[in-house]
Structures are given as C-alpha cells and as structure tokens.
Structure 1
Amino acid sequence: MKLFSGPAVAGRKVLITGAARGIGAALARQLHAHGAAVALLGLEPELLAEVARECGDAPWRYCDIGDPAQVERVVRTLASELGGLDVVVANAGVAKQLALIGGDPSVMEETLAVNVLGVYYTLRAAGPHICHPQGYALIVSSLAGVVNLPLAGAYSASKAGVEALGHTLRNEIRHTGAKVGVAYFAELDTDMTTRGFGTAAARAILGRATVSGVAPLGPAIDATERAIARRRRQVVSPWWVAVVLPFRPLAQRVVDAALRRGVAEALEIARTEDAPLTTDQPTRPRRMERPA
C-alpha cells in the first residue's frame, strides 16, 4: 500500500549503487515491489545476486566504483539491459573512524576514493542516460556532512564533498530537464552505523555508539521512494534532520559544546582500535610519494 499520493515509481528504470545491503538493498526491494525496474551494482556478488532474485531477477554487476573505467563499462551495460535509465541513486559508500592526527591516512584516502570519486564516476557514467525531462539523480550525502563530529572527519569530509557534487550537477543538467536530489540521513539501522562508528572510541565520547540514536531504516526508504517519484531536491530521515539543515552553524556549536569530554581518551583508543570499513574494498595501490 502506498504511503503517499502523487507520481508513482512504477515503470521507472533505476540504477542503484551499493545495492548489496543496507539502504541500497532495501530501496531496490521496495522500488521493485512498487513497479520500478531496478539494476544493481556493488562489491558483494552473493548478496547482490540474492537481492536481484528478490527483485525479479534484476540485472546486476560487481563493480568497484573507485575504478572509473569499470564504472563506465558496468553502467553502460546495465543501462542497456534496462533499456535506458530514468534514475541513478548514488548510494555506495564506506565509513570508518579516523583520528585526524596520528590516525592511518589510508582511511582518509579510501573514504574519499569511494565516497567522493566513486560518486563522481557514477554520475559521470550515468549522466548521459538520465539527461532527459524525466531523469533524476539522487546523491546520498549525510547529516555528518553538515554537522561534524570527532573521529568522523574522513566520512564528514566525503559527505560534504558529495553534497557539493549534487548542487553542482543540478545546475549543470537543469537545461536537459533532469533533476538532482541530495539525501541527508542521520544514524540509520545499517551496517554503516554499527560497523563504521559503533566502536569503543565512539562510546568513550558519547557514552554510547551514536549521537542521536539509531533510527529505523523503513522511514528513510519511504522518504527516498517519495523523492524519486517526485524528483525532489532534498530528502531527509528522520524528519528532524530537515529542522537541523537550515541552522548548520548553530547545530555545530551545540555539538562542539556537548562533546567536550572524552575526546582525548577516544582519540587514544581510535589510534589503535581495529575498526573495519563497512564494506571491504578492493586493494588499490597507494599513491607514490614524490621524491624530495
């Protein structure tokens, strides 16, 4: 049963990145159930194949979104198998805590490679297919890109970058009739929340694993479906995120004041704590150091 009135997603051709689990998998299942044709890409073939079966044997491909040539090839193939694209949901991302001083720089490099460059490569590849009057790109940013917490610097920087890509793309493709939306989610009940930031270091700062408490995934998926149906500029979940967004500076000051204690201890823990990336990534060569 639809929870909203207005344009439906039935008949839309939707490409979803990061579709093996979490937001991507749940969104694919719901859009398929409501009549959309979905195509899936991600890094976990067994999980992708399972989601694809639940979506009427939807087309899917393994894809490292940090590899621009692979993204170009896979998006072209999936668009062809769907018979075109109406929507791309740039959802794939990773998260891992990082102490900016003394932490492992590879965490920052990997996070930016997936969350920023991967989104850029996805939009670059899918853009020609969605640049039509019914086209829509939805870019998954985060409340973390707006209000920044200790140990989340890599993730926050990446999600702020993703937001900037979305606003820029909106202006660049407006003349085609296509629209662009940016999603801002708080801490949802996904692996990204539990694995990426549900750590001993985070608990040392907050007294628990999250700032606002883990919100259920269902309302976020409903809100995302509404955004796709109506090609909305913005989607949030939980609802209160919409109240925070216009007051970013004030929200940051509140967070700064609230998190004065426990940060030094948390940084010491974070520098040695073995916190995994939310999804294991392909091994990429480290950038070569320039000679002095």
Structure 2
Amino acid sequence: MPVPDSPLRGRTAVVTGAARGLGAALARELAVRGAKVALLGREESTLARVGDALPGVAECWEADVTDDRRMARVGAEIRARLGPPSVVVANAGVAEGGPFAESDPAVWRQVVEVNLIGSAVTARTFLPDLFATRGHYLQIASLASIGAAPMMSAYCASKAGVESFAHALRAEVAHRHVGVGIAYINWTDTDMIRDMDRYAVLRELRGHMPAPARRVYPVADVAGRLVAAVERRRPSVYVPRWLRAAQPVRAALPAVVTMLSRRELPRLAAVERFEATGLLGPGGRAHGAGSRPADD
C-alpha cells in the first residue's frame, strides 16, 4: 500500500544492485513511499522487469558500479530525467566462498572491487547531488562487518571495508547536512543466500552458528526496516535488532571464531572437501560474465 505521508514522496532515490534480491525489495519499498526510483544493475532485462512492476516513477540503468566513467554518465542522466537524488543506497554486492589458499585471485579481487570500490564509486558519483538536496546515503554492510568468518575472506574483508568507509564518509560530510547510514544485516532470503546452501563449506558455516544467527529473514521485511531507517536518517540500522548487541563484544569475536574453527573445520573437512564456490547466485554470475577488461 502507498505511504502518503512519507518524507521520501517526490524525492529521487538511487538503488544499486536493484535487479534482484534486497536491491529489488528496497526499490519497491522506496516506490510505495512515493519516491522516484533509479534502479542500477548489471542484468538489464531483469532490471527492467523489476522497474516495470513498481508503482509510480521508476527508470533503469545498466551499470557496473566499479566503472567510474559509466557511473558518471548514469548520474548525469538520472539528474536530468528524475532530478538530483536525495537518497542513495549502495547495495550492489557479490560473494564467494571457500579456502583462501585455493581461491581464484581474480574472483577474490572482484568481490572486493564490487563491494568496496563499487560503494566508493557510487558515493563519489552522487555526493554532489546529496550535498544539494541534503540527502542520505545508506551503505549496506553485514554481520560480516562486525565479525569475520572462515571461508568468506573476500566478503568479510569487503564488508569490513564498507563499514569503515561509511564511518569516514559520515564524518566528512556531516557539516554539509548529508546523512550517512550503515545497514548491518544478517542472512536474508535472496538468490545469493539460497545458492550458498548448495555448497557444503557455506552450508556448514551457517549451520554451526547459534540458532538466532543462522535464521534467514524475509527480504521484504529487511527492506522495510532499512527504508524506514532512511526516512528517519538514522546513522545505523540492525536487522535483526539483536545484531546491535554484537557491537560491544566485537573485539572478542575473532578469538571465539578461531577457537570454534580450530575444532570444527578439520571435522567438516574429513566429511567433504572444501572447494571454492566462485561468485554466488545469478547476480554474482552476471557480474562475472559481464566483467570488463581492467584497462577499459
């Protein structure tokens, strides 16, 4: 149902990684609140289907968030057609799993480039608009930003990086009345998470977490919480709420994870060999298939 009194009504909102999963759900939540939504993603036909299903004004742009020149062109087109954005959600992200020593260096690098560099390119592209509108930038982070896990080194490194980036950016732009929020989310019911369960290494990783930590949350519920936080310009949002409790004890988490891994990983490896997964989910495969040459 439309939300008639939302402060986002009539504003322009940008969502990266909007072709599926959390990005598509965020685009819908923004649209029902009356925002004009710019959807960015790599899967052009899938992106168009998401845009066509949204109420109100929604337009789509195929874009690689790591490509500075393409993102600059997209930013100019959004500005001309929808107006300067008041909300930017840096959601685009990919993941891969498996032992670091056996990982494909190109795939490992791509996870960091999409998740971290892509977020920085997104922020750089739209910060002039956010300065003009006194807008809000939301960085999608993760439980992995707080506590790293084995077999997910690239993803954890990139999500720790985006958290640190967002904190630094918030301090830089606060005097210009731009809000910067960080979304800490746990397992969310997306194609990427469903794909993870096909691999023993990642299935076991989640299965050995405490019961609350391994629960998978509906994507629409997560998106609703995040957009509500954007409306209130909150500096942080935790889904589920108990994730906030991990912040005060985060210094102790590496030792706990190491202790559990020392005990569990040899046992699990004796049952099934751990192998690299490659990029996960159809969204990850779209990034892999659409990779541009490094010198483009």
What is the TM-score when the length of structure 1 is the normalising length? 0.88
Task: Kindly indicate whether the alpha-carbon contact (under 8 Å) linking 1:205 and 1:266 is maintained by their aligned counterparts in 2.
Answer: no
Query: Greater share of helix residues, 1 or 2?
Result: 2
Query: Hey, what does 1:290 align to over in structure 2?
Result: none
Closer, same or farther: CA 256–212 of 1 in aligned 2, 3 Å: farther
Measured after TM superposition, the shift of residue 207 of structure 1 is 4.4
Query: Hey, what does 2:230 align to over in structure 1?
Result: 228
Residue type at the aligned position of 1:102 = E
Supply the RMSD in Å over aligned alpha carbons: 2.6
Query: Hey, what does 2:243 align to over in structure 1?
Result: 241
Measured after TM superposition, the shift of residue 33 of structure 1 is 1.2
Task: Kindly indicate whether the alpha-carbon contact (under 8 Å) linking 2:97 and 2:277 is maintained by their aligned counterparts in 1.
Answer: no
Matches for 1:132-281 after TM superposition, within 5 Å? 132=132, 134-196=134-196, 198-205=198-205, 207=207, 212-264=214-266, 265-266=268-269, 269-271=273-275, 273-278=276-281, 279=283, 280-281=286-287
Task: Kindly indicate whether the alpha-carbon contact (under 8 Å) linking 1:60 and 1:78 is maintained by their aligned counterparts in 2.
Answer: no
Task: Kindly indicate whether the alpha-carbon contact (under 8 Å) linking 1:143 and 1:185 is maintained by their aligned counterparts in 2.
Answer: yes
Measured after TM superposition, the shift of residue 118 of structure 1 is 0.7
Structure 2 gap ranges (5+): none
Measured after TM superposition, the shift of residue 270 of structure 1 is 3.3
Measured after TM superposition, the shift of residue 167 of structure 1 is 0.8
Q: CA-to-partner distance for each residue in 1:33-90, whole Å, 9 max, x for gaps?
A: 1211111110111111111112235111100112111111112211221111101000
Q: CA-to-partner distance for each residue in 1:248-269, whole Å, 9 max, x for gaps?
A: 1233443333333342454983
**Structure-1 separation of matches of 2:104 and 2:214:** 27
Task: Kindly indicate whether the alpha-carbon contact (under 8 Å) linking 1:220 and 1:236 is maintained by their aligned counterparts in 2.
Answer: no
Taking only the aligned residue pairs, the percentage that are identical comes to 37
Q: Which runs of 4+ in 1 moved over 4 A?
A: 204-211, 265-268
Closer, same or farther: CA 78–198 of 1 in aligned 2, 3 Å: farther
- What's the secondary structure of 1:269's corresponding residue? coil
Closer, same or farther: CA 111–80 of 1 in aligned 2, 3 Å: same
Measured after TM superposition, the shift of residue 204 of structure 1 is 4.3
- What's the secondary structure of 1:270's corresponding residue? coil
Structure 1 gap ranges (5+): 288-292
Query: Hey, what does 2:17 align to over in structure 1?
Result: 18
